[in-house]
Chain A
Amino acid sequence: MPFIPHTADDIARMLQVIGAQSIDDLFDEIPAALKTAALHGVPPALSEMEVGRLLTERAWRDGRPLNFIGAGAYEHHIPAPVWAIATRGEFYSAYTPYQAEASQGTLQLIYEYQSMMCALTAMEVSNASLYDGASALAEACLMAVRAHRGSESRRILLPRTVNPTYGQVVRNITGNQQLEFEAVNFDRREGRVTLRALQAYEGQDFAALVVQQPDFFGNVEEVDQLTDWAHANKMLVIAVVNPTALALLKPPGEWGGLAGGTRGADIVCGEGQPLGVPLASGGPYFGFMATRMLYVRQMPGRIVGGTLDSEGRPGFSLTLQAREQHIRRSKATSNICTNQGLLVTAATIYMALLGAAGLKRVAAASAQRTADLVRALCQIRGVSAAFDAPRFHEAVLLLDRPVAPVLAALAERGISGGLDLGGSYPELGHALLVCATETKTEADIDAYARALADIMRPSPVVRGAI
């Protein structure tokens, strides 16, 4: 049997049967304006050799810049065994297995992934993963509205210290479900959410408060205070966390309880990419989500459970499927009901290889490198740190001139110097978000500092100064 599903003759015969002139006729009802035109820069069919050559040439054009950009995706060292094992034939599928009898290996891996995520977040139950960190937050917001039994509110407090891209995705996904978001401002000096900023919302009816830890600026938020405030005001707490940072910081399951009796965050989500997934131009990544057992039936996504078979032997299968769309249809907890199996496989191998101690070393080294970077860059005239809160592995720097030309000059020297925050946070002025992980050496940091000092040497022209 040939691998070509339809020949030109097959297609002509089928079109004749249904009375259509061409395949394009079948898409007539889609307005022309919505159809995507030809992709620029994508040539017609090429041979394998030609494709290889074309892609290699294009990859060369990117160069191999020394990367100091974080902002939600982080360059960590990935031990060679991670992808060597993840791409074994037995694991090499993006799909979640329905057939328990034929999929014990994959199911066990996902079960172990869930167990590791529970240990990392100090939560009771994790799902098998979602698409990415941003869509996981959107799912968490929808879940909070469903799960909050004391309130019918569809409003959520979404601080501006949460990744602004996540904010866009969340508004996009929940836009037709009447969720409303209130943007909480951050303290200009600390670069994080303070109780003072939250006072305006005291006693109002909100379903949840979102807390990102560390926040988008890299600052460590006062999560205990924020959690207690939200619970006192009858809101759920949605934690958006960096999994690497959790090796050092208090896990969300233990947030709050300053006055005794902690209950922790109610829903935890985030981007799993730092756990063994390469930057890869922005994806594919995976999102994670965990919650308290009380809310498990409101959690979206697949869940693998441990069980016993008919002969009493331990095994694994998908569980609690009555939440999902193949059973609940339009009433499902989500209609995005798959997981990122392959990326979760890599993350599970990454976490298993590093262990708790290894992950802690990665986190500590990253925090140290960022501290070194900030110290080195802030010695340059015209560069200062924007905030004075403690940080993890990112920081906002203020420049005495526009950021974009400085980044362009750094790029010419083979350095990706960070993210220009001007578009999302104009009130900060010339703000630059930088990140250094364990992959950056002292020499790398030195190279960045020397390049930046060189670029910043001529002082900005100040009109009327002479």
Chain B
Amino acid sequence: MSKIPGDLHYTRSHEWVRRLSSGQLEVGITDHAQEALGDLVYVEVPQVSRRLVAGEACAVVESVKAASDVYSPVAGQVAASNEDLAHRPELLNSDPYGAGWLMRVVPDAAAAAGPLLTPAEYAQFLEEAG
């Protein structure tokens, strides 16, 4: 059973979202996602200041067996990217909710509340997906 921290929001494409005190949103991929991908060998994070549309492919995570896009859960502008992942992609496997974060986004005011899942909803979604 993969970890689903109670203080985060989630998407059906397996991203998590953390609201920081600055108002920025921190985004990463879930424990379930890193487990399904296997050992990551490469992570491509978005350029700082890039504008994102909700649902837009904004990062790439590549393991020894697959490469997947990561989709932005919200519309906004990239404030920071986790540059450590370029040299240490394994952080995403070892600490997906911490050191393995992908980007921080300043959300557009109108789009701040997206159709995100609660921890319980995400857990149920995983269960139903089998």
Give, as a whole number of angstroms, the nearest-CB distance from A334 to chain B: 14
For A324, give the chain B residue with the smallest CB separation.
B67
Say yes or no: B47 contacts A328, CB within 8 Å. no
CB < 8 Å neighbour of A150 from B47, B63, B69:
B47
Say yes or no: B42 contacts A149, CB within 8 Å. no
Complex CA distance for A111 and B63, rounded to whole angstroms: 23
For B47, give the chain A residue with the smallest CB separation.
A149
Question: Does chain B have a CB within 8 A of A408?
Answer: no
Question: Does chain A have a CB within 8 A of B66?
Answer: yes
For B51, give the chain A residue with the smallest CB separation.
A152
For B64, give the chain A residue with the smallest CB separation.
A322
Give, as a whole number of angstroms, the nearest-CB distance from B122 to chain A: 25
Question: Does chain B have a CB within 8 A of A440?
Answer: no
Question: Does chain B have a CB within 8 A of A327?
Answer: yes
For B42, give the chain A residue with the smallest CB separation.
A297
Say yes or no: B62 contacts A297, CB within 8 Å. yes
Chain A residues with Cβ below 8 Å from B63 are 322
With contacts A327-B67, A331-B69 taken as known, whether A322 is within 8 angstroms of B47 at the C-beta atoms is no
Complex CA distance for A328 and B67, rounded to whole angstroms: 6
Chain B residues with Cβ below 8 Å from A328 are 67
Question: Does chain B have a CB within 8 A of A323?
Answer: yes
Centre residue among B44, B62, B65 by max chain A CB count within 10 A = B62
CB < 8 Å neighbour of B44 from A150, A297, A327, A331:
A297
Give, as a whole number of angstroms, the nearest-CB distance from A238 to chain B: 21
Give, as a whole number of angstroms, the nearest-CB distance from B82 to chain A: 15
Q: For chain B, what secondary structure do more than half of its interface residues adopt (helix, strand, loop), or is it mixed?
A: strand
Give, as a whole number of angstroms, the nearest-CB distance from A317 to chain B: 12
Q: In chain B between 31 and 45, which residues have their CB closer than 8 angstroms to a CB of chain A?
A: 42, 44
For A150, give the chain B residue with the smallest CB separation.
B47
Centre residue among A297, A322, A323, A328 by max chain B CB count within 10 A = A322
Chain B residues with Cβ below 8 Å from A327 are 65-67
**What sequence of 0s and 1s flags, for each residue 149-163 of chain A, a beta carbon within 8 Å of any chain B beta carbon?**
110000000000000
Complex CA distance for A323 and B67, rounded to whole angstroms: 8
Chain A residues with Cβ below 8 Å from B47 are 149-150
Complex CA distance for A331 and B47, rounded to whole angstroms: 19
Q: For chain A, which range describes its interface: under 10, 10 to 19, 20 to 34, or 35 or more residues?
A: under 10
Give, as a whole number of angstroms, the nearest-CB distance from B103 to chain A: 14
Q: In chain A between 119 and 162, which residues have their CB closer than 8 angstroms to a CB of chain B?
A: 149-150
Q: In chain B between 48 and 66, which residues have their CB closer than 8 angstroms to a CB of chain A?
A: 62-63, 65-66
Give, as a whole number of angstroms, the nearest-CB distance from B121 to chain A: 28
Give, as a whole number of angstroms, the nearest-CB distance from B58 to chain A: 13
Q: In chain B between 84 and 123, which residues have their CB closer than 8 angstroms to a CB of chain A?
A: none
Give, as a whole number of angstroms, the nearest-CB distance from B55 to chain A: 15
Chain B residues with Cβ below 8 Å from A150 are 47
Chain B residues with Cβ below 8 Å from A323 are 67
Complex CA distance for A297 and B89, rounded to whole angstroms: 15
Chain A residues with Cβ below 8 Å from B69 are 331
Chain B residues with Cβ below 8 Å from A297 are 42, 44, 62
Complex CA distance for A323 and B62, rounded to whole angstroms: 9
Complex CA distance for A327 and B41, rounded to whole angstroms: 15
Complex CA distance for A150 and B65, rounded to whole angstroms: 29
Give, as a whole number of angstroms, the nearest-CB distance from A188 to chain B: 41
Complex CA distance for A327 and B69, rounded to whole angstroms: 12
Give, as a whole number of angstroms, the nearest-CB distance from B67 to chain A: 4
Give, as a whole number of angstroms, the nearest-CB distance from B85 to chain A: 14
Chain B residues with Cβ below 8 Å from A149 are 47
For B69, give the chain A residue with the smallest CB separation.
A331
Q: In chain A between 327 and 382, which residues have their CB closer than 8 angstroms to a CB of chain B?
A: 327-328, 331
Say yes or no: B44 contacts A322, CB within 8 Å. no
Complex CA distance for A297 and B69, rounded to whole angstroms: 14
For A323, give the chain B residue with the smallest CB separation.
B67
For A328, give the chain B residue with the smallest CB separation.
B67
**What sequence of 0s and 1s flags, for each residue 173-194 of chain A, a beta carbon within 8 Å of any chain B beta carbon?**
0000000000000000000000
Give, as a whole number of angstroms, the nearest-CB distance from B91 to chain A: 18
Give, as a whole number of angstroms, the nearest-CB distance from B87 to chain A: 13
- Chain A residues engaging chain B, CB cutoff 8 angstroms: 149-150, 297, 322-323, 327-328, 331
14 contacts between A and B (CB under 8 A): A149-B47, A150-B47, A297-B44, A297-B62, A322-B62, A322-B63, A322-B66, A322-B67, A323-B67, A327-B65, A327-B66, A328-B67, A331-B67, A331-B69
- Chain B residues engaging chain A, CB cutoff 8 angstroms: 42, 44, 47, 62-63, 65-67, 69
Task: List 15 additional A-B contacts (Cβ < 8 Å) besides A297-B62, A322-B62.
Answer: A149-B47, A150-B47, A297-B42, A297-B44, A322-B42, A322-B63, A322-B66, A322-B67, A323-B67, A327-B65, A327-B66, A327-B67, A328-B67, A331-B67, A331-B69
Give 8 closest A-B pairs by Cβ, nearest first.
Answer: A322-B67, A322-B62, A149-B47, A328-B67, A327-B66, A327-B67, A297-B42, A322-B66
